[in-house]
Chains A and B, each alone.
Chain A
């Protein structure tokens, strides 16, 4: 069974940093492209970042470019999102999502971890 478990969320002050993790199981993590997608409270979905299986292809939404860094450790079956210079508008549930094999379509999603940026 495919499982994606996010962790690392919490309350952080504006300007602060946080590192999210996503632990994958039930599939060969090293062969799949992975994404981070976020959802502000009561709002819609916003794609944040994508990383290919070998970390050669990385893209970010303009809203986080230069502040967030996506990475992965295939030996640990883990995906990460380093978030720096956090703003109130970064407050959201952050989901990690796996792309379908060979396609750019997130098919499995974790339950998400809540990040709250507030003083």
Chain B
């Protein structure tokens, strides 16, 4: 199984500042035949289901604000929120869909400093 490890576990950032969350996979999730990274990012607020933010490591889902961006390739990935807003307080998860079992990172809880 591919193990996904996020860092940090929790993060406190001031409003308007940048937030960066990292995700590392135990093996590459880059599929060479199509040069795509099988990596997604989700946002989950308390009491709500997860919401898809980013897929293919860097493609923003429709309707997601452009302050959210994803980067990275192979085994190392980053979710960046360029200017933190109050509504971004949530737990963020990365997920690999390269092969089954599809695995999630343990989550990063983002709070306002």
Interface residues of chain A, those whose CB is within 8 Å of chain B, are: 35, 37, 44-47, 50, 59-62, 95, 97, 100, 103-107, 109-112
Contacts and interface: CB of A to CB of B under 8 A. Distances in A.
B68 interface: no
A46 B93 CA distance: 11
B106 A47 contact: no
Interface in B13-64: 38, 40, 42, 44, 48-52, 55, 61
Interface in B76-113: 93, 95, 97, 100-107
B107 A44 contact: yes
Contact of A44 (B1, B97, B100, B106): B106
Nearest to A65: B101
A106 B50 CA distance: 10
**Of residues A45, A59, A62, A111, which shows the largest number of chain B Cβ atoms within 10 Å of its Cβ?**
A45
A47 B49 contact: no
Interface of A is mostly: strand
Contacts of A107: 52, 61
Interface residues of B, number: 23
Nearest to B106: A44
Contact of B100 (A59, A110, A112): A59
B57 to A, nearest CB: 11
Interface of B: 1, 38, 40, 42, 44, 48-52, 55, 61, 93, 95, 97, 100-107
Given A35-B102, A59-B101, A62-B1, 9 more contacts: A44-B93, A44-B104, A44-B107, A45-B107, A95-B49, A104-B97, A105-B55, A110-B49, A112-B49
Contacts of A110: 49
A45 B55 contact: no
Contact of A45 (B38, B50, B61): B50
Contacts of A46: 104
23 contacts: A35-B102, A37-B50, A44-B106, A45-B44, A45-B50, A45-B93, A45-B104, A45-B107, A46-B104, A47-B100, A47-B101, A47-B103, A50-B100, A50-B102, A103-B55, A104-B38, A104-B102, A105-B55, A107-B52, A109-B49, A109-B51, A111-B49, A112-B49
